[in-house]
Structure 1
C-alpha cells in the first residue's frame, strides 16, 4: 500500500527503492504482491509496455490472479500489444480452460485485431464459464452489434434479462436490436418496460419515436421525440427524426425548422445536411437548398452533397454550372452519381449528361 501511495505522489524512484528493499524477504505470495506494485508504478508512469510485462510475470506465477487479469487488458489496449496478448492469453487458457477473465481478455484482443469471429467466441466463453459475469455478456453483445449480427446480440440481451431481471442496461439495447430486425411491436414493449424503471432517459423516448413512426403513428412519434429533446437537446439524430415525422404529417415549416436544428447540433455530420437538402428539393425549394449546401461546405464535405448541388443547378436550368460540377465530381467519386439522377430525374434523358456519364464509366 505504501508503495502505491508513493507512486501516486509521483515519487517513482522512491517507490522502486521500496520494492527493492522488500525483495530480500520475498515469498511466492509477496513476490506476486511486489510485481503488482511494480506494475502499478509503471501504470502511474504511463509505461504501459513495462506494466504489461510485469503483469505477465504475475500471471505466470498465479494464472488466475484477478487483479492482474483485470489490469492487463488496460495496458494491452494502451500499448497495442494485441497479438502478444492473444498468444499469452491462449497459453493461460491452455493451462486452465475455465479461466473466464483470460477468455474475456482474449476476446478483446481479437476484437482489436479485427478478428470478430474469434472475439465473439472468446467473449461467449467468458460468460459460459462464469454465468454471473455480466460484463462478458455486454461486451460480447457489443461486438455482435458492431458486426451487425443483431439477432445474436438480441439473444445475449434476452439471456441477461432472463438471468438478472429487467434492467435498462439490457432492455434498451435489446430494443435497438429489435428495431434493426424490424420487430417494432416487441421493441416498443421493451422500451415501455424500461420507462417503468426510469422515466427520464432520452434514448428510450427517441427509440419509441422510431417505433411509432414505423407504424405510421406520427402523432405519438412526435410526442415521444419532443420528450427526448427536452431531456437532451444536443442530439442531432433526435431533431432529424422529428423533422422526418413533421414532413410525414405535412407540417413542412416545422420539418424545415428541425432539419436546421439537426445540422446545428451535428454540423460535421454529412447525413443531416443531406436530409435537409433532400427535404428542400422534394419541396422544390431549390434556392434554399443551395443556401444550405453552401453553409454545409463550411463544416463538412462529401460527394453526395456535391451531387445534390449539381442536381439543384440542373433543376434550376443552370446547365453549364451543372456540367462543370459533374466534370469535377465524376472522376473523384463516380459511384455516388446515382443520387444526382434521383434528385434530378429528368437528367436521365439528357443527352449531354448521359454522354458525360458514359465517358466516365469507361474511365472508371
Structure 2
C-alpha cells in the first residue's frame, strides 16, 4: 500500500525521535512534529514517552501555544485540573479566539461533572473552529453524560452533516434513537444517510440490526448483504445475518454465514454452538453432535455448550449419555444452577430419586428459584416420604410465590398427612380461593388424603 507524503513524514519523525532517545543526541523538531509525536504516544498509552517528548518540545519551543495546549491535555489526563486551568487562563490572555482553549476548558468542566458549563464553552468554540464536526461530537457526548438523548442525537446528527465518515458519531446517533425507543425513525435516518454515503458498511449493518430488533428478518438480511458486499470481511455482519436466517428457519443459509465467520477469524464457541443447533433442526444428528462437542472443546466454561449436548441426549431419551455429560459439566463448574437442574431431571427420569432430590436442592441453593424447580423438588421429597422437609421447602417457595395455588394445595396435603388439620384447612382454603379447579392436585399427589370424608366435605362446602 502506497503511503502518503504526510504519513511518510510522520513515520520519519517518530523514527528520528526514537533514535534520538537511544543515542542521547539532541535533534531539532518543529513544534508540529512534536505535537504529533506526543499525541501518538498518548494514543498508544505510553504516557512516560509522551512526557519526555513534551519536556524536550517545550525546551525547543517555549512559546508554542500548540505545545502548551498539549501540555494542558496531559495535565487533564493526569487529573491535575487546577494546573491545567491556570495554564489555559494564561493562554486565553494571549489567544482568546483559539477554539482549542475552549475545548480544553470544557474538558475540565466535564471531568468535574459540570456538563452544562462544558456545553456553553463548546458552543463558544463553534464560533472559532474550522472543525465543526469534532465540536458537535463533543457537545453530543456532554448531552449523553446529562442523559439528554434528544439533544445528544441532534448534535451527533450535526456532526455527521459536517463529516459523513465519522463512525463514532454514527454509532452514537443510532444509540440515541434506540435508547429513545425510536427504531423506525432510526431506520429512516440511516436510509437518508445511506443515500449520501451508500458505501458505508457500518450504516448498512446498523440498518440490519434495527430491522432484526423489529423482527423484520428479510429486511435485516438484505441490509447485512449490502454490508458484506462492501466489506467481505465484516465478521459482525455475517454473524448477524446468520442469526436472521435462523429466525427464518433457513438453516442451511445460516450455517453458511456462521462458517464464513469461522473463515474470517478463529472459531468462536458461539458460532460452533449455533451451527450445531442448525444441524439438529435439519435432522442431522451426527453433525449436530460433532459441533456441540467442538463447542465445549473450544470453550469448556460455556454452559450453553454442555447444556446443548445434555439436552440433545435427553431428547434422544439416552439418559445414561445425558448424565455422563452433565457430570462432566459439573466437574468444571459445580455451582451452576442450570447443570444441577438437568442433573436432577435426568436422575428423576432414571428413577434415581435421592440423586434427583439432591440435584434440585443444589439448583435452588445456587439461585434457581423457578416455580417448577421448587415443585419438582417437593414432589420427590413427598415420594421419598420426607414430609417435614417438603413442608419447609414449600414455605421457602411461598416467599417467592405467595399467591400460588400449586404450593397451597401441596401444603394442605402435607399438613393433612401429618395430622395438622387446622394448618391443612387454612392452606386448602387459600388454594381453592386462588384456583378451585386445581383441587385435583390433592387427588393426584395425596390419594390417602383425598379419600378422607372430612376433606371431601370441606371441598364440597367451599364449592357451594
- TM-score normalized with structure 1 length: 0.74
Residues 1:188 and 2:289 are matched in the alignment: yes
Whether the aligned pair in 1 keeps the contact of 2:204 and 2:227 (CA below 8 Å) is no
5 Å-filtered alignment, 1:1-364, equals 3=103, 6=108, 9-10=111-112, 12=115, 13-14=117-118, 16-18=120-122, 20-26=124-130, 30-60=131-161, 65-82=166-183, 84-89=185-190, 91-92=192-193, 101-102=202-203, 104-106=205-207, 116-118=214-216, 120-131=217-228, 132-136=233-237, 138-139=239-240, 149=247, 151-152=249-250, 154=251, 157-165=254-262, 166-176=267-277, 185-266=286-367, 268-301=369-402, 302-313=404-415, 324-333=426-435, 342-344=444-446
Write the distance in 2 (CA, Å) between the matches of 1:292 and 1:333: 21
**Structure 1 contact 104–122 (Cα < 8 Å) conserved:** no
Alpha-carbon distance change, 306 to 74 in structure 1, aligned in 2, over 3 angstroms? farther
Distance 2:181 2:194 in 1: 21
Contact in 1 for aligned 2:242/2:258 (Cα 8 Å): no
Deviates more, 1:100-109 or 1:127-136: 100-109
| Between 299-308 and 187-196, the greater mean CA deviation after superposition | 299-308
**Is the 1:205–1:228 contact (alpha carbons within 8 Å) kept by the matching residues of 2?**
yes
Give the Cα–Cα distance (whole angstroms) in 1 for the partners of residues 155 and 167 of structure 2: 14
Show the counterpart of 1:362.
Answer: none
| 3-state SS of 2:334 partner | coil
Once the two structures are superposed, residues 134-193 of structure 1 have per-residue CA deviations (whole angstroms, 9 ceiling, x without a partner) of 434545666888xxx5835x5565133321224312112444566788876543221112
Conservation of the 8 A alpha-carbon contact between 1:200 and 1:231: yes
Q: Distance in 1 between matches of 2:377 and 2:222?
A: 46
Q: Is residue 405–residue 430 contact of structure 2 (8 Å, CA) maintained in 1?
A: no
Q: Is the 8 A contact 1:55 1:72 kept in 2?
A: yes
Per-residue CA deviation, residues 243-287 of structure 1 (Å, 9 max, x unaligned), is: 122233343322222211101111533232122123233445444
Match of 2:76 in 1: none
Number of equivalences: 348
1:294 Cα deviation after fit = 1.4
The 1:205/1:111 distance shift into structure 2, 3 A limit, reads: closer
Alpha-carbon distance in 1 for matches of 2:442, 2:234? 51
Deviation at 1:20, TM superposition (A): 2.5
Residues 288-297 or 103-112, more deviating: 103-112
Offset from partner CA, 1:104-142 (integer Å, 9 cap, x none): 545655676xxx433x34432331112244434545666
Q: CA deviation at 1:328?
A: 2.6
Query: Structure 2: how far apart are the matches of 1:227 and 1:102?
Result: 44
Going from structure 1 to structure 2, the CA distance change for 1:197 and 1:52 (only over 3 Å counts) comes to: same
Gaps of 5+ in 1: 360-364
State how far apart, in whole Å, the 2-side matches of 1:304 and 1:156 are: 45
Q: Do the aligned partners of 2:409 and 2:442 also contact (CA within 8 Å) in 1?
A: yes
After alignment, is 244-253 or 56-65 more displaced? 56-65
Please tell me whether the aligned partners of residues 103 and 122 of structure 1 are also in contact (alpha carbons under 8 angstroms).
no
* Aligned counterparts of 2:245 and 2:416: Cα–Cα separation in 1: 44
Q: 1:130 aligns to what SS in structure 2?
A: helix
| Larger RCO of the pair (alpha carbons < 8 Å, separation 6+) | 1
Instruction: Say if 1:135 and 1:226 are closer, same or farther in 2 by CA, change over 3 A.
Output: same
Moved more, 61-70 or 33-42: 61-70
Q: What are the ranges of 5 or more consecutive residues in structure 2 without an aligned counterpart?
A: 1-38, 40-72, 74-102
